Amino acid sequence: MEFGIKISSLEELQNLKYLDKYNLIYFGNEFCERKIPTFSETKEIFEFCIKKNKTFVLLTPLLTNLGINNLKHLIKDISEINKKFEVTINDLGLLEILEAFPEVKINYGRVLIRMKKGPEIMTGCLKESPDNFKDNSLSNPELLDFLKDLNIKRFETDVPPQGIDLPENSNITLYLGNSVISVTRRCIYPKCNTSEYNYKIEPCKKECLNQIITKETKYFDRPVFIIGNAELIKTEMIIPEELKNKFNRIVIFPNIKNNL
């Protein structure tokens, strides 16, 4: 069993308690291409991982041509330091770029996994059993075979409150600590702190880095956190009994701010 942790900065990594228990360090953003880290930020963490004999995993988001171009240069630059690292993709458009880096291991990110999620599932307001919401795209063996042919050898998912059905005999990573509910290309944060706010497409000034919006209603069993262009809920650090022997890696998200 492998153990990883998601970190947001070199300082957080340097101050991490029980570093020795983790084999892998996850860094980057799964949702927004404007939060792709710089080479300078990535290099510091990558070199720390090499020094401490940890596997570095770069998380990547939904992408446009701008994001693909930025990641092309970032992956090239860090591969010149050391070619042994992993990239978790959340956009299939990155696969063509990664063909030039055959030693880099490719993981299939949780944003790409189709599944019905939401804090209303557990309250009963949908008048369906939560067990009816465990199905997901990883249940499709033809999809898994197709992705494996594309050199994707690992599949990464969170564990929503209702649980999740997982296939046998695949390399599965479980993210513990939060679950992604939805992701959009249109962010609500630009100009959110001004009187001019009107929810139009505006230049990004990364206002989301300094604040988190919380949504609560009587139909939710827990609050929803709007972090940039993604909505997440906190989940318990508990693995359902039925998932035992169906995964071989665990990644801890210590707090909701690790997704900023």
The domain ranges of the chain are 2-178+235-259
Query: What is the per-residue pLDDT across 65-121, written as a single tens digit (0 to 9) for each?
Result: 999 999 999 999 999 999 999 999 999 999 999 999 999 999 999 999 999 998 889
198 or 53, greater pLDDT: 53
Q: How high does pLDDT run on average in the chain? A: 93
Do the beta carbons of residue 172 and residue 166 sit within 8 Å? Answer: yes
Query: What is the per-residue pLDDT across 187-197, written as a single tens digit (0 to 9) for each?
Result: 888 877 777 77
Q: For 112-126, 140-154, 158-172, 181-195, which range has the lowest pLDDT when averaged over its residues?
A: 181-195
Q: Is the pLDDT of residue 202 over 80?
A: no
Domain 2-178+235-259, CATH 3.20.20.80 — does that match? yes
Look at residue 175 in the predicted model and tell me its pLDDT: 97
Quick one: average pLDDT of 112-132?
A: 90
**pTM tops 0.85:** yes
CA distance 200 to 72: 30
CA distance 225 to 143: 31
Quick one: average pLDDT of 3-8?
A: 96
Burial state string for 189-223 with b = 16 or more CB within 10 A and e = fewer than 16: bbbeeeeeeeeeeeebeebbeeeeeeeeeeebeee
Radius of gyration of the chain (CA): 18
Do the beta carbons of residue 25 and residue 5 sit within 8 Å? Answer: yes
Look at residue 243 in the predicted model and tell me its pLDDT: 94
Secondary structure of residue 17 in the 3-state scheme = coil
